[in-house]
C-alpha cells in the first residue's frame, strides 16, 4: 500500500491492487434492519449475511485472495498421504520461518488444543502478553492458568505508545523467581495482540523475552495469527528495523521463538493453520495428536486447495504493499474518527478499528452491556456489523455474578483487501452521526443466556424503547436515504 499525498496535503492510503472479482452487496432500509437486529436478539453473530451491508465482524477467513492464490488452487495435488501440495507448504515454512518441522491443523484453535495438551500440566502457569479467548480456554481446560503481563500502557485506551503489545519483562522475571521455571509450561507471545485492539509488540521486546526464557530453560510459544500487521508496525515504527526487509524481520522473530503457531484464516489469507518448530522432541510429541484430532500429517484437516492458497499467501505476506493495506486503512478510519471526537483505541493497530463503548455511552452502565448496545445501534443505523468485545464476551463466575471486562469495545474488523475507502468513509459517517445522537442509545438485557459462550448464542433485548427512537431520528435527519 502506498501512502500518497493529495495536493490538499492530506495523506491517503492508495491500494496497490485492482479488484477483479466482486460480490454484490445490498443495504436494507433501516426499518428492515430494526426487524433483523431484533430477530437476532441484538447479537450480531446471529444476523444473516443478506441483512448486512459491511461485514466488519472479523478478518477471520474473509480476507480477499489474490489471483495467484486462486490460480494455485487449481493445480492442487490431492491425496490423503504424501501430497506434493503439502511438500510445497512445508518448504515455504522452512524458507520463511527457518523451521524444520511443520504440522498442519484445521484452524488456529486446533493448534492451541495440541500445544496445550502436550505442554500444559495441572497447576502450571502460562505467562503471556495478553490472552485470546480460545488460547486461554485450552490452557484452562488442561488445568493450567494464565498470567497476563502486558506493559501498563497496553491497557490504556488512548496512548502514544507504539508497541502496546509488549510484555513487561520485569514481571516475567518476578513470575519465574516466585514460582520457579519448572512451574511455567511455556511463555506465550501473541503478535498483533487481538483483544487490546490489534496492538503490536516490538522486535526488541521479543528479544528480551526470549533471552529470559532461554536463560531459564522455558519454551517460548509465538501465536503468529496476526503477524502480517505486526510486521508492518515493526518496520514502520521500530527505528532499528527500518532498513530490514519484511523477510529478515520475520526470520529474526522466528529465530527468537521455539514454537510458532497460527490461524491461516488470518495469516496468509486462506483457511487452516499450522504449528512450526525446530525441536524434534516437541514435534514428535505433537505429531500423534495431529493425526488423532486433525487428520493425516500431510493435510491436518485442511482442504488441499486451502494448502495451495496458504503457500502463496505466506509468500505474499513478505510483501510490504500487501501487509500495509489493512493497517493503513485502519489508521485512516481511526484518525478520521478521533479527529471528529469519537472515542477510539489509539494508536491505530491492526485487525480493525475499536470504538471505546464506555466513553461513547457513559450513561449506559456495564450491567446493561454498553459494547453490545453500541454494536446493535451501529448495525441499526448503518448495516455495518461489528463484534462486541466487552462483558457479553466474558463468562459469569460460578456463583452467577457477572465478570465485567477491563474494556468495553466494539471491534470493526477491516479484512485485508475487501473494502474500499468510500465504504470506510460511509462507516465513519454513520459512526459520527451515532456519536452525535448517543444520548438516544440505551442498554440491553439478556432474554436467553446460555451458560457457555453466551456471546455466540445469547439473545438480548433493549432495556427501553430506544431503538424505535433512533430509527425516527435517523429518518428525520436522512429523509428516505437508506
Ligand atoms: N489466536 C489469535 C490471536 C486469534 O485472533 C484467533 C482467532 C485464534 C488464535 C484462533 O484461530 O479462529 O482459526 O481457530 N481470532 C478470530 C477473530 C476468531 O475473530 O479475531 P481460529
Ligand 1 in contact with 190 (CB < 6 A)?
A: yes
Q: Is residue 3 over pLDDT 80?
A: no
State if residue 223 touches ligand 1 by the CB under 6 angstroms criterion. yes
| Per-residue confidence band for 125, with pLDDT thresholds at 50, 70 and 90 | very high
**Which atom of ligand 1 lies closest to the CA of 109?**
14
Q: Is there an atom of ligand 1 within 6 Å of 109 CB? A: yes
445-480 pLDDT, tens digit per residue, is 999 999 888 999 999 999 999 999 999 999 999 998
Instruction: Report the C-alpha dihedral over residues 325, 328, 331, 337, rounded to 10 degrees.
Output: -70
Counts of helices then strands in the chain (DSSP H, E): 17, 16
In 184-339, beta strands by DSSP E: 187-190, 220-223, 259-263, 273-277
Q: Is the pLDDT of residue 2 over 80?
A: no
Would you kindly state where each structural domain of the chain is located, as residue ranges? 2-59+320-478, 67-316
In the prediction, which pLDDT does 10 show? Answer: 84
Residue 11 has pLDDT above 90, yes or no: no
The answer to whether the CB of 114 falls within 8 A of the CB of 293 is yes
Nearest CA to 196 among 227, 154, 133?
Answer: 154
Q: pTM of the entire structure? A: 0.96
Neighbours of 296 (CB within 10 A): 16
Question: What value does the mean pLDDT take over residues 300-326?
Answer: 97
Cα of first residue to Cα of last residue in the chain, in angstroms, is 31
Distance CA 20, CA 9 (A): 31
Please name the residue that has the C-alpha cell 475507502: 421
DSSP reduced 3-state for 349 = coil
Question: With a 6 A CB cut-off, is 265 part of the ligand 1 pocket?
Answer: yes
* Residue-level pLDDT at 452: 82
Q: Strand, coil or helix: what is 347?
A: coil
Q: How far apart are CA 352 and CA 245, in angstroms?
A: 25
Distance CA 51, CA 319 (A): 35
Q: Looking at the domain 2-59+320-478, which fold is it?
A: 3.90.1150
Active site residue ranges: 80, 132-133, 223, 266, 389, 455
- Average pLDDT along the chain: 96
Indicate which atom in ligand 1 lies nearest the CA of residue 107: 13
**pLDDT for 162:** 98
Quickly list DSSP for 362-387.
Answer: TTS-GGG-HHHHHHHHHHHHH-EE-E
400 has a pLDDT exceeding 80: yes
CB 70 within 8 A of CB 308: no
Euclidean distance between CA atoms 352 and 358, whole angstroms: 18
Residue 451: predicted pLDDT: 86
Q: How far is the CA of 180 from the centre of ligand 1 (A)?
A: 30
Average pLDDT, stretch 414-428?
A: 96
Ligand 1 centroid to Cα of residue 109, in Å, is 7
Residue 401's pLDDT is what? 95
Tell whether the model's pLDDT for residue 398 goes beyond 90.
no
pLDDT given at position 268: 97
Q: What is the DSSP letter of 438?
A: G
| Residue of the CA atom closest to atom 10 of ligand 1 | 108
Residue whose Cα lies nearest atom 12 of ligand 1: it is 108
Contacts (Cβ under 8 Å, ≥6 apart) of 379 = 33, 36, 37, 44, 47, 52, 385, 386
pLDDT level of residue 1 (50, 70, 90 thresholds): low
Per-residue confidence (pLDDT) for residue 274, from 0 to 100: 98
Per-residue confidence (pLDDT) for residue 17, from 0 to 100: 93
Best residue among 63, 130, 132, 349 to mutate for probing ligand 1, ranked by most atoms within 8 Å of CB: 132
Rounded to an integer, the average pLDDT of 78-95 is: 95
pLDDT, tens digit (0-9, with 9 covering 90-100), for 164-204: 999 999 999 999 999 999 999 999 999 999 999 999 999 99
How remote is the CA of residue 11 from the centroid of ligand 1, in Å?
32
- The pLDDT assigned to 175 comes to 98
pLDDT reading at 408 higher than 80: yes
pLDDT tens by residue, 327-340: 999 999 999 999 99
- Output DSSP code: residue 158: S
**Backbone dihedral angles phi then psi of residue 188, each to the nearest 5 degrees:** -115, 125
Of all protein residues, the one whose alpha carbon is nearest to atom 19 of ligand 1 is 58
- Between the CA of 257 and the centroid of ligand 1 the distance, in Å, is 20
Fold assignment, 67-316:
3.40.640
- Of 163, 135, 134, nearest to 151 (Cα)? 163
21 SS3 class: coil
Collapsing DSSP states into helix, strand and coil, what is residue 356?
A: strand
Amino acid at each position: 500500500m502506498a501512502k500518497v499525498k493529495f495536493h490538499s496535503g492530506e495523506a491517503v492510503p492508495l491500494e496497490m491492487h485492482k479488484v477483479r472479482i466482486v460480490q454484490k452487496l445490498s443495504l436494507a432500509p433501516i426499518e428492515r434492519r430494526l426487524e433483523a437486529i431484533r430477530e437476532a436478539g441484538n447479537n450480531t453473530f446471529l444476523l444473516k449475511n443478506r441483512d448486512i451491508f459491511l461485514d466488519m465482524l472479523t478478518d477471520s477467513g474473509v480476507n480477499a485472495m489474490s489471483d495467484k492464490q486462486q490460480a494455485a488452487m487449481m493445480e492442487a495435488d490431492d491425496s490423503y498421504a504424501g501430497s506434493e501440495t503439502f511438500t510445497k507448504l512445508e518448504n515455504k515454512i522452512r524458507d520463511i520461518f527457518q523451521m524444520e518441522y511443520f504440522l498442519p491443523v484445521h484452524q488456529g484453535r486446533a493448534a492451541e488444543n495440541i500445544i496445550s495438551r502436550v505442554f500444559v500440566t495441572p497447576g502450571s502457569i502460562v505467562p503471556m502478553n495478553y490472552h485470546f479467548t480460545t488460547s486461554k480456554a485450552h490452557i484452562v481446560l488442561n488445568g493450567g492458568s494464565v498470567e497476563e503481563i502486558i506493559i501498563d500502557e497496553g491497557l490504556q485506551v488512548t496512548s502514544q505508545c507504539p508497541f502496546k503489545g509488549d510484555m513487561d519483562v520485569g514481571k516475567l522475571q518476578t513470575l519465574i523467581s516466585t514460582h520457579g521455571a519448572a512451574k511455567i509450561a511455556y511463555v506465550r507471545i501473541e503478535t498483533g495482540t487481538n483483544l487490546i485492539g490489534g496492538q503490536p509488540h516490538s522486535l526488541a521486546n521479543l528479544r528480551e523475552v526470549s533471552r529470559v526464557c532461554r536463560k531459564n530453560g522455558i519454551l517460548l510459544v509465538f501465536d503468529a495469527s496476526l503477524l502480517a500487521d505486526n510486521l508492518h508496525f515493526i518496520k514502520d515504527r521500530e527505528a532499528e528495523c527500518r532498513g530490514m526487509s519484511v523477510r529478515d524481520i520475520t526470520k529474526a522473530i522466528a529465530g527468537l521463538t521455539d514454537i510458532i503457531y497460527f490461524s491461516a484464516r488470518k495469516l496468509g489469507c486462506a483457511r487452516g493453520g499450522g504449528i512450526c518448530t525446530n525441536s524434534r522432541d516437541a514435534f514428535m510429541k505433537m505429531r500423534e495428536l495431529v493425526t488423532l484430532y486433525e487428520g493425516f500429517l500431510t493435510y491436518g484437516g485442511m482442504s488441499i486447495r486451502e494448502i495451495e492458497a496458504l503457500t502463496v499467501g505466506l509468500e505474499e505476506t513478505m510483501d510490504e504493499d500487501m501487509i500495509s493495506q489493512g493497517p493503513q486503512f485502519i489508521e485512516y478510519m481511526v484518525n478520521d474518527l478521533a479527529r471528529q471526537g469519537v472515542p477510539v483505541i489509539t494508536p491505530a493497530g491492526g485487525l480493525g478499528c475499536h470504538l471505546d463503548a464506555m466513553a461513547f455511552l457513559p450513561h449506559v452502565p456495564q450491567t446493561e452491556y454498553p459494547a453490545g448496545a453500541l454494536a446493535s445501534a451501529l448495525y441499526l443505523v448503518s448495516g455495518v456489523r461489528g463484534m462486541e468485545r466487552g462483558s457479553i464476551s466474558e463468562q459469569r463466575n460460578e456463583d452467577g455474578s457477572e465478570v465485567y471486562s477491563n474494556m468495553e469495545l466494539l471491534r470493526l474488523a477491516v479484512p485485508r483487501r475487501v473494502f474500499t475507502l468510500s465504504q470506510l468513509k460511509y462507516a465513519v459517517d454513520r459512526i459520527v452521526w451515532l456519536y452525535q445522537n448517543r444520548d438516544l442509545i440505551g442498554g440491553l438485557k439478556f432474554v436467553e443466556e446460555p451458560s457457555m459462550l453466551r456471546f455466540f448464542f445469547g439473545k438480548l433485548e433493549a432495556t427501553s424503547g430506544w431503538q424505535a427512537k433512533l430509527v425516527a431520528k435517523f429518518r428525520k435527519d436522512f429523509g428516505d436515504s437508506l
